[in-house]
Amino acid sequence: MPRKQFDLIVFDWDGTLMDSTATIVKSIQAAAKDLGLPIPSREAAAHVIGLGLTEAMATVMPGLDQKMLGRMLERYRYHYLSKDHELTLFDGVPELLDELSQQGYFLAVATGKSRVGLNRALNAAKLLSTFHATRCADETFSKPHPAMLQELTRELGQDLKRTVMIGDTTHDLMMAQNAGSSGIAVEYGAHPVSQLAACGPLFSARSVPELQQWLNENA
């Protein structure tokens, strides 16, 4: 039976599959504190989640010279990696991915993480063999540029119009728009619901089970 709308389902990682928003925010704030820099608010730190790390730090800490930006990146990595082993998938994510896989969808990840960081996270979550393809911010253009989705569909022989991007930030939804794909928001991650709604997602899920139900009925 032909699918209703999609053949390829692409997930963001942090704040969408992995419950890591608070850890990323605290790591950004701790890095700034270490260097005696103004500590960004939770909202400001959360807003840059999903961007490539260098772009995220340059955005949340504008005006830093290259040397200080490099130190900020080093301190962020130190704090994040000290908590990395404690991070877990959101409740229901393994079951969601298992069901989608059994139904024959192509599954992919498009993330602001580095390749090393994503591979480490996939290994820890026992998901290395779950996804057909993945793209990271240090391999191509950062969100909201459409390159990640363009490259994933090309690699998997899929159609952008039959691809959906699922994420917790406006960066994810804007990338989907820029690529000519559909976007689904999840409301339990980094960006406020009002900002997600302004991007006009096809659906906005309050929880993983709600996302799973919608995909079952509509995807």
Residues annotated as catalytic are 12, 14
SS3 letters for the chain?
CCCCCCCEEEECCECCCECCHHHHHHHHHHHHHHCCCCCCCHHHHHHCECECHHHHHHHHCCCCCHHHHHHHHHHHHHHHHHHHHHCCECCCHHHHHHHHHHCCCEEEEEECCCHHHHHHHHHHCCCCCCCCEEEECCCCCCCCCCHHHHHHHHHHCCCHHHEEEEECCHHHHHHHHHHCCEEEEECCCCCCHHHHHHCCCCEEECCHHHHHHHHHHHC
